[in-house]
With several copies, the nearest count.
Chain A
């Protein structure tokens, strides 16, 4: 019954065939939900995450508002069918903690001071979960914020580094996260050069820790390029639609 699984083979490749420092396939899309002010969808490995942003709007109830800036509400929520075993719809302690750290990862890039007494809602639904879902959620959420036209200092990018069989691995998948020895998700703000989320559980030496930080940062820069490409395509598409509609009208 106990199958000893080797997570890295003799050629240094991982169970899904990746090299140690290789990202999983990533696909992003923005503006797919009609009702939301902004929305984004990400597939990052087997993660499938959809994010809607509503706002800025009047903060309700009033006692949660701040006189000098917008409050940000963030909910990270997993669909009951997103996990191997069905997840109860009630928010778990894990989801409550992640909602907090994701909010704290995104809030530094939002010009909340432009919208006193307002509220910006970020609703994250994990439709299918894999390792690194909070990182993918952050990547998608900053796209949804941009899609909503909310003024941002920069995008935020999430990526994790894990440790498997004593080796650091980039962007660990579910099984690597579960059987591995450490997992460190970070969120990075490229233009500002700042880390806005940093968590770790497992076991790192000081050296591993520093190396992992740099690996994560490098990977974030790659994902950042994809984010910008996604927004650019959306922008070009919108521009095209606008131009066509203007042409039609003439």
Chain B
């Protein structure tokens, strides 16, 4: 069951100042409305994982680890590997996070990132079959929030594709008796696209890019769009109890598309 959340009490003065600044095109942290915070990506930070990446957007820090194990394929997709995306809002990351099973926010986050990867066809799922219909690779993408300062979706989506891009895929050999045996070899995980999510927030009729946590707490709604390397949209999610006009959505789409291209150019140069 979903319930209207308690809003983190943000000093009214701070909120008022934010809104006042926005009318003059500025933000609390000095950014312009369509400025993104500094992005940092560290790949391969967890050696035990098949792939990993730590992404910072300002003070927002998200670690994604990829584990690849074997399992049964879905009965209706016998010739495809499987993908599972999971997010944990560990209590380390914010004083209002409590330990426990995933809540609607972490489930929504994981599902948005999942859709970006899945719908863009980023992973070549057909190449993850070890024994058709019986044994396939299962790719686990685990999103770990280390510090929450807003815009977890973009940080998580960028960390997820970064981690997948540096993931190694164990090679299995099928022996004479038809059993799969793990070898010592690894191939790179076959990646075909580089989906990038970009999030905008609406605060008092202003659209800002890459909202900080203070801004998310004041915003009425957010809109995330994920773009493929060809500039197609592969996932959208509006969240929050605010609304958008059709025109706002179309404009937001243009801004997000441009930013996604820029991020890809800066950090994923091979995907242009």
Contact = CB atoms under 8 A, between A and B. Distances in A.
Interface stretch (A85-93, A165-173, A226-234, A240-248): A85-93
Interface of B: 1-4, 6, 45-49, 52, 59, 61, 63, 65-67, 69, 86, 88, 90-95, 99, 101-102, 104, 107-108, 110-111, 115, 118-120, 140, 142, 144, 146-149, 221, 223, 228, 231-246, 249-250, 253-254, 257
B4 A46 contact: no
B147 A209 contact: no
B65 to A, nearest CB: 3
Contacts, number: 214
B91 A123 contact: yes
Contacts of B231: 205-206
Contacts of B221: 104
Contacts of B254: 206
17 contacts: A33-B92, A35-B149, A57-B95, A74-B2, A80-B86, A80-B142, A81-B49, A81-B140, A107-B241, A129-B48, A189-B243, A193-B245, A195-B246, A198-B249, A201-B115, A201-B234, A203-B232
B44 to A, nearest CB: 12
Q: Interface SS of chain B: helix, strand, loop or mixed?
A: mixed
Nearest to A174: B48
B47 A46 contact: yes
A125 B47 contact: no
Nearest to B91: A123
A229 B253 CA distance: 35
A18 interface: no
Contacts of B237: 101, 198-199
B239 A204 contact: no
Contacts of A236: none
Q: Interface SS of chain A: helix, strand, loop or mixed?
A: mixed
Given A34-B59, A82-B48, A213-B249, A205 B140 contact: no
A197 interface: yes
Q: Which of B6, B69, B90, B249 has the most CB of A within 10 A?
A: B90
Contact of B146 (A50, A72, A74): A50
A214 B107 contact: no
Q: Which of A57, A70, A93, A192 has the most CB of B within 10 A?
A: A93
Nearest to A48: B46
Contact of B2 (A75, A94, A198): A75
A86 B52 CA distance: 13
A121 B91 contact: yes
Given A194-B244, A202-B119, A100 B66 contact: no
A34 to B, nearest CB: 4
B86 A209 contact: no
A125 B61 CA distance: 14
A125 B142 CA distance: 14
